[in-house]
Structure 1
Amino acid sequence: MPSEHQLPLWRRWSYGVGHVLNDLCASMWFSYLLVFYHFVIKFPNATAGLLLLIGQTVDALCTPVIGYFCDKTQCFYGRRKIWHLVGTICVAASFSFIFHVCITCEDVSVPYLVLYYACFIAVFQFGWASTQISHLALIPDLTSNKDEQVGLNSIRYGFTVLSNLAVSLAMWQLLDHVPTAAQHAHKGHKSHANMTKINYSDRYIFWYTPLGIIGVGLLFSIIFHLGTKEPKAQYKRREDSDTKNEKPFKWYMWFKNPQFYLVAMIYMCTRLMVNVTQVYIPLYMLEVVNLDRSSVAKATLIIYVSGFIASFTNKYINKYLGRYITYFLGLCILWAAIFWFQFQEEAKYPTKKHVFHNLVPYGAGVLLGISGSILLVTSLSMTADLIDRHVSSGAFVYGAMSFTDKLANGVAIQIIQLCHPCNQKNEVCCSLCHSYYRQVMVFGPAGPSALAFVGLVLLFIYIRRATKERPTSPCQDKQEQCETDPLLESSCSSCNQIKERCLCDFTSDELNINKTISNSFATST
C-alpha cells in the first residue's frame, strides 16, 4: 500500500529529479523548435507547425496506451520504473537529431526533410510520454497523503523550472557571446538588424545544446533509478483487494465519472496556457518588442526564475486556500500578464545602453512564470486527488490527461501557424508579424483560461452537489463506512482506523465523493 506517512527527504528529492531529462528536452522543444526550423532550416510556417503537430500527436496517442500497459506490467524492477527506463533510452537516442541539420540532405525536397525529422520526433515523443506517465503515476504509489502528494508535485515542478533555467542560461550565453557570420562580416560597423537575426550560421548552437542536455539528463535519471524504491508489495495487496470485490475497479470505469472529464479539461487548458506562451514568447520578443536575439533566452529565463520561486509556496497556498481558490489565483495572475502583452510597446532603444526600457517587457514574463507554476502544480494535484487510492489504474488517468493536453497543443499551434498572415507572401516573417504575434500572446492563453475557469466552476458545483448527497460527517457511523465503502474497507483494518484516517488525512468532501463514486461504479457495472 502507498505510505500514509511523510517520505524521507532523500527519497523525495531522488523522485523529483526523475523527470529532469524530459524537462530539459521539453524546454528546448517548446521554446526553440519553431525558432530553429524558421530561422536555421528555413521551413515555411505551416511546415514547422506540422512537425510540432506530428510530435504532439504521437505523444497524445502514446500516452493512454502507455498508461494502460504501465498499470498492467509486472516486472521485478517495478512496473513504473521499467517504463521510465525505456523512455529514457528512447529520448537519449533521438533528441539531438531533431535539432541537427541533416548531413546527407543537400538539395533535397521539403517533404523528404519533413519525413527525416518526423522519424526522430516520433521516437523522441514515445520515449518522452513513457517517462512522463510512469513518473507521474509513481506519486500515488509512493504516498496516499495529500500534502505529501502536493509536495512531490512541487519538488517535481521545481526541478522542471531548474531544468528550464539551465537551458535558458545556456542558450542566452551562446546566443549573446557566440558571434554569427553576419557579425564577423560587419565587424567594426555592426548594424542592429544583423545582430538580432538567428540564421543558418547558428546551427552549431542548436546542435551542441541538445548533446549537453542529454548528458546532464542521463545523470539525473541514474540518480532517480538508484534512489527511488517503487513499493512492490502493494501490487499483491491491491490485486487481492480487487478480487475480494465482485465489481473490481477497472480502467474503463473512469469514463463513467464526471469528475474525470472536468479535471481533464482543466489540465488540458492549463497545459495550453503554459505551452502556447512558451512557444511564442521568443518570437514575440524578436518581432513585437524588437529586442536583440539574446532576448529569446532571456524571456524564458525570467519566466522560469519566477516560476521556480513561486513553486516553494505552492504547497502552503494549496493547503490553506484549497484547490479552487489557488487555481483561480493563478488565473488572475495570468490575466494580468495577458493585459501586459496587449499593451506592451515596441522597444525604441533595443540596445544595452537603455537598460530600464529593455527590462520593462520582461515584467509580463514574471507574471507568466508565477501563474504557470501555480496552475500546473494545482492541476496535477487535482489529478492526484482524482486518482486517490485507485493506484491500480493511476497511470491510465495520467495518460488520458496527457492525451488531451498533447493533442490540443499540437492542433492549436498548427492552427496558429496556418493562420500566419505572412504565408500568403511565401515568407517566414513579414511586416504583419508584429501585430500577429501580439494577438497570439493575448488570445492564445486567454481562450484556454476562460475554458479552465468554466471547468473549475463546474467541478466545484459537482463536488458540492455530491457532498450534499452524503451525511454531513462521513465518520459518524463507522460501522456503516466499513460495510458500504469497499474502497475504505480494503485500505483499513478496522473502523477505528477509518475514523482516524478520516480526521487526519481526508477532508469530508473527499471521503464523500470517493464513497459516492465507488458506490456508483458498483451499481453501474
Structure 2
Amino acid sequence: MERSQNVTEAEAKAEKQLLRPHRKIAYALGNFFTVLAIAVWFPYNISFFQFVLGLSAKNAGNIVLIAQVGGAISTPLVGMWSDKCSCKIPGRRKIFHLIGLITLALVMFFLWYKCLGCSDASEVYQVIYFCCFAIIFQFSWASIQIGQLALLPEICVQKRTQVQLNSLRYSFTIIANLVVFGCFWLLLKFYSDDSSKNTGDKPLTPDDLNIFLIMSAVVIGLGFPSSLLFQFLIPEKVNVNLAKQTWYKWIVNPRFYL
C-alpha cells in the first residue's frame, strides 16, 4: 500500500502537531525490545545450546534453522493479517505490536533456560521444546517489527519525517547492541566463576546458565517498558486513505527494493 505523494500544508501542519519530539522517541523505541532480544539471540544461540545446555552442534544448528524457517513463514503472514485486521482498539497495526511484546516477554525465559521437565531427556525432546519457543520468538519479532513499520506511512506523510523516524529507530538498534554486549561482558567478568572466559580463552559451560537467565531479565526489564511507550504515545488513525496494491504490483515496483 502507498499514500499519495501530494502533501498539503494542512497535512504537514497536522503531522508536526502529532509527532512532537517525545512521540518521535516513543516511535523509535517501538522495536527496542526486539533488537535487544535479537542482539542476544543471533550471536549467542549456538553457544548457549551447545556449550551451556550440552546439545550437539547438529541439534543446536537445527534449532536455529527451524527458527529461521518459522520466521520466514510468520513474517508475511503477520503482514497479511495486519492488513486485513479491523481492530480499532488499539488499532490494526498496534494490536500486533502489543501481541508481539507480550509473547516475546513470555518466551524469553523459556528460550534461555534449560528444558523444563525434559532437561535429562533425550536431545530430540529438547530440540522440539526449544524449536517451539524459537518459532514463537520469531513470530513475536515479526509482529513487533511489522506493527511498527507498517504504521509509519499512516502517521506521517512527509518523506523527511519518515527518514527522521527511521534514523532514530536505527540509532536505538545500535544502542541495544551495545547494551547487550556490555551486559554480557560485565556478567562474564564479574558473575562467572571463571574470570578468563571474558577473554575468549575458554568456552561457556553449564555453570553459566544463570548468566543467560539474568540477561533475559535485563532484556525484558529494559525492552518491554521502553517499547510499551509506543502503545501509549503513538496514535493510530482508523480511517486512512491508502491505495491498495496487489502482491504482483509490489514485486514490479522498483521502490520495493530500495
Tell whether the structures are fold-level matches, with TM greater than 0.5.
Answer: yes
Alpha-carbon distance between aligned partners in 2 of 1:104 and 1:165, rounded to the nearest angstrom: 34
Q: CA deviation at 1:255?
A: 4.8
Which residue among 168, 175, 184 is the counterpart of 2:181? 168
SS in 1 for 2:151: helix
Contact 1:254 1:260 in 2 (8 A): no
The share of aligned pairs that are identical, in percent, is 33
**Counterpart position of 2:217:** 211
SS in 2 for 1:196: coil
SS in 2 for 1:79: coil
**Counterpart position of 1:66:** 78
The unaligned stretches of length 5 or more in structure 2 are: none
Alpha-carbon distance between aligned partners in 2 of 1:255 and 1:139, rounded to the nearest angstrom: 18
**Aligned: 1:135 with 2:148:** yes
CA-based RMSD of the aligned residues comes to 2.5
**Aligned: 1:227 with 2:233:** yes
Which residue among 188, 208, 214 is the counterpart of 1:202? 208
Q: Render the CA deviation track for 1:15-71: whole Å, top value 9, x for unaligned.
A: 011101111100000111112112212222222111111111111101111111111
Contact 1:14 1:227 in 2 (8 A): yes
Structure 1 stretches of at least 4 aligned residues deviating more than 6 Å after TM superposition: 190-194
Q: CA deviation at 1:258?
A: 5.1
Which residue among 116, 126, 135 is the counterpart of 1:113? 126
**Counterpart position of 1:57:** 69
**Aligned: 1:252 with 2:258:** no
Alpha-carbon distance between aligned partners in 2 of 1:30 and 1:173, rounded to the nearest angstrom: 19
SS in 2 for 1:102: coil
TM-score, length of structure 2 as denominator length:
0.86
SS in 1 for 2:118: coil
Alpha-carbon distance between aligned partners in 2 of 1:31 and 1:193, rounded to the nearest angstrom: 16
**Cα distance change on mapping 1:191 and 1:256 into 2, 3 Å:** closer
SS in 1 for 2:87: coil
Q: Render the CA deviation track for 1:222-278: whole Å, top value 9, x for unaligned.
A: 2111111112242xx44xxx6xxxxxx3332435515267x1xxxxxxxxxxxxxxx
Q: CA deviation at 1:78?
A: 1.3
Which residues of 2 match residues 337-376 of structure 1 at below 5 A? none
User: 2:245 is matched by which residue type in structure 1?
Assistant: K
Contact 2:63 2:127 in 1 (8 A): yes
**Counterpart position of 1:149:** 162
User: 2:170 is matched by which residue type in structure 1?
Assistant: Y
Alpha-carbon distance between aligned partners in 2 of 1:21 and 1:192, rounded to the nearest angstrom: 25
Q: How many residues align?
A: 245
**Cα distance change on mapping 1:56 and 1:140 into 2, 3 Å:** same
Alpha-carbon distance between aligned partners in 1 of 2:255 and 2:53, rounded to the nearest angstrom: 42
**Cα distance change on mapping 1:42 and 1:253 into 2, 3 Å:** same
Alpha-carbon distance between aligned partners in 2 of 1:256 and 1:112, rounded to the nearest angstrom: 41
Alpha-carbon distance between aligned partners in 2 of 1:142 and 1:18, rounded to the nearest angstrom: 14
**Counterpart position of 1:11:** 23
TM-score, length of structure 1 as denominator length:
0.44
User: 1:123 is matched by which residue type in structure 2?
Assistant: I
User: 2:234 is matched by which residue type in structure 1?
Assistant: T
Q: Which has the higher contact order (CA 8 A, sep 6+)?
A: 2
The unaligned stretches of length 5 or more in structure 1 are: 184-189, 243-248, 264-381, 383-525
Alpha-carbon distance between aligned partners in 2 of 1:192 and 1:71, rounded to the nearest angstrom: 46
**Cα distance change on mapping 1:204 and 1:157 into 2, 3 Å:** same
Q: CA deviation at 1:106?
A: 4.0
Q: Indicate the structure with greater helix content.
A: 1
Alpha-carbon distance between aligned partners in 2 of 1:173 and 1:191, rounded to the nearest angstrom: 11
Q: Render the CA deviation track for 1:406-462: whole Å, top value 9, x for unaligned.
A: xxxxxxxxxxxxxxxxxxxxxxxxxxxxxxxxxxxxxxxxxxxxxxxxxxxxxxxxx
**Cα distance change on mapping 1:256 and 1:206 into 2, 3 Å:** closer
